Amino acid sequence: MAGPSPQADPRAELRELAPWQRPLRADFPIVAANPELAYLDSAATGQKPRQVLDAVYTYLTTSNANAGRGSYPWANATTALVAGAAERVREFLGDRSAKAEAGAGAGRGAAGPSSVHFTGGTTEGLRTVARDWLPQLLRDGDEIVVPFGDHRANLDPWLEARDLLAARGVRIAVRELPCQAGTGDYDARALAALAGPRTRFVAATHVHHVYGADMNVHRIREAVGPDVPICLDAAQSVGHQPVSAADLDVDFLVFSGHKALALPGTGAVWARGERGPAFRPGGWAGTPNTAGIASLAAALDWLEAAGVERIARWTAALASVLTDGLSRMPAYEVLGCRSSLAAGTAVQRRGSIVTFRHQGIGSQDLGFILFSHGFMVRSDDHCQAGRDPRDGSVRVSLHVYNTLEEMEKLLTALAKLQ
Ligand code: PMP
């Protein structure tokens, strides 16, 4: 699904949306308690609305027990909570089979073709797919295509799977998902040329965690044909913009609940279950993070009630104000997605993330300076695969609680540092 389309004037869009945004911002206790600080690191983890915290408190003070074990009321309630949360995830991700099968059970051992497996985050989710599902798909001489310049969480597990298979005498080739020079977009044409009869699997990222670009993953299906399973790292899109697994036609959609306003240590793998072997996360699962799962269901409820499409418009407009301002300051270089800086198209492809460098001030130093002005940004290599840890930049990442005032103050502080 394409990202939000920009209005010519992002400030006008922000003015229009302000009456909607203001009460939503007030839902975040940590934001309300720290009006002098601006949290600009939501790509790392999101802040939590009161309704999510309340749901956790209610669960822990009314029916806390283990799930899938025991038959007394609290245990049954917890089992139902986990199954209900899995159903919630399926619906939220535009799984069209979800509604039809509501009540048929979900989660591990779901009756329907798709399933939801709860994890601690995207890293664990991708590794689970790589470890427990991918090896069954692959034979000696097969190829997989994965991104080499996205988050390390979407490279290391595939390389580990290759090494695991090699130790068993099965040699597979790992090819780089091609990117266009300059924009950082995936190059669908080059992918179509690269994909051959031995291409069995593609991993991709929905929204880039450094460049903020929607990577146009809907083109991947066209490029590789109808039979190749695709695994999507949706860590930076779920909870930020509408995401439809059906429209994207992917087979795995992996995300971090904690970036989508749920508690730390939450995330999920949604598996379509139609291409390749069935997804059965291996081994004895142990006790699930029931409080975290309760928080995830509550977070998805909150996001849906707030309106994910409007959240995407809000953060894209804020990002546009920031990129426009930075493009007028020659001391700064905005990374990635360069076309988005062209006049009138400021946020065409950029969602809620803006990453930049200062010509003369190191990124770590810039991060410290910005914090002295109350801005909490990320300033390092952002766990990007293939990057030297010293090759840093400053990342501003936004969510619904951020404001135009914060962007303007940030631009003022950045202008002074020119
Ligand atoms: N993929 C992307 C695109 C990310 O932005 C992140 C988090 N920065 C991850 C994977 C890893 O997520 P987690 O830390 O929740 O495992």
| Distance in angstroms (rounded) separating the CA atoms of residues 124 and 107 | 17
**What pLDDT was estimated at residue 276?**
94
- What residues are paired with 203 via a beta bridge? 231
Residue 344 scores a pLDDT above 70? no
How far is residue 173's CA from residue 161's CA, in Å, rounded to a whole number? 11
| Geometric angle at alpha carbon 125, from 120 and 130, rounded to 5° | 145
Q: What distance in Å separates the CA atoms of residue 9 and residue 270, rounded to the nearest whole number?
A: 37
Q: Is the pLDDT of residue 96 over 90?
A: no
Which ligand 1 atom sits closest to the C-alpha of 208? Answer: 3
**Measured at the alpha carbon of residue 267, what is the angle toward residues 266 and 270, in degrees to the nearest 5?**
155
* Backbone torsions φ then ψ of 362, nearest 5 degrees: -60, 150
Task: Write out pLDDT tens, residues 154-194.
Answer: 999 999 999 999 999 999 999 999 988 766 789 999 999 99
Residue 130's Cβ-side half-sphere holds a number of Cα atoms within 13 Å equal to 28
Q: What confidence tens digit (pLDDT) does each residue in 354-412 have? A: 999 999 999 999 999 999 999 999 998 888 887 776 678 999 999 999 999 999 999 99
Q: How confident is the model at residue 77 (pLDDT cuts 50, 70, 90)?
A: very high
Domain boundaries, the chain: 10-36+307-416, 53-304
Residue 270 host element (H or E): strand 267-271
Q: How confident is the model at residue 343 (pLDDT cuts 50, 70, 90)?
A: very low
The residue-averaged pLDDT of 259-283 equals 95
Residue of 252, 256, 353 to mutate, ligand 1, most atoms within 8 A of C-beta: 256
Compute the distance from residue 42 Cα to the ligand 1 centre, in Å: 11
Which tokens belong to 227?
Answer: 């039979």
Residue 224: pLDDT band (50, 70, 90) is: very high
Tracing tokens 């697994």 back to the chain, one arrives at: 245
* Contact 395 CB / ligand 1 (< 6 Å): no
Instruction: Compute the average pLDDT of residues 201-229.
Output: 92
Question: What CATH fold (topology level) applies to the domain 53-304?
Answer: Aspartate Aminotransferase; domain 2 (3.40.640)
Task: Decide: 123 in ligand 1 pocket, CB within 6 A.
Answer: yes
Per-residue pLDDT of 50-68, as tens digits, reads: 999 999 999 999 999 999 9
Q: How many CB atoms lie within 10 A of CB 220?
A: 25
Q: Which residue's alpha carbon is nearest to atom 6 within ligand 1?
A: 235
Side chain identity at residue 390, one-letter code: R
Name the band, by pLDDT with cuts 50, 70 and 90, for residue 101.
low
CA 62 / ligand 1 centre spacing (Å): 32
CB 203 within 8 A of CB 186: no
**What pairs with residue 214 in β-bridges?**
207
pLDDT of residue 340: 41
* Alpha carbon distance 145, 13 (integer Å): 39
10-36+307-416 fold:
Aspartate Aminotransferase, domain 1 (3.90.1150)
| Dihedral sign computed on CA atoms, order 55, 60, 63, 64 | positive
Task: Quote the ligand 1 centre to 252 CA distance (angstroms).
Answer: 15
Coil, helix or strand at residue 144: strand
- pLDDT value of position 55: 98
Among 84-93, 175-184, 349-358, which range has the highest average pLDDT?
A: 84-93
Separation of 292 CA from ligand 1 center, angstroms?
17
As a whole number, mean pLDDT of residues 107-136 equals: 86
Q: In percent, how much of the chain has pLDDT > 90?
A: 79
Looking at the DSSP bridge assignments, the partners of residue 116 are 270
Tokens of 39: 């949290």
pTM for the model: 0.93
More confident residue, 207 or 104: 207
Identify the three-state secondary structure at position 380: strand
Question: Residue 394: which H helix or E strand, with range?
Answer: strand 393-397
Kindly state the DSSP code that residue 216 receives in the 8-state scheme.
-
Write down the pLDDT at residue 183.
66
Residue type at 51?
Q
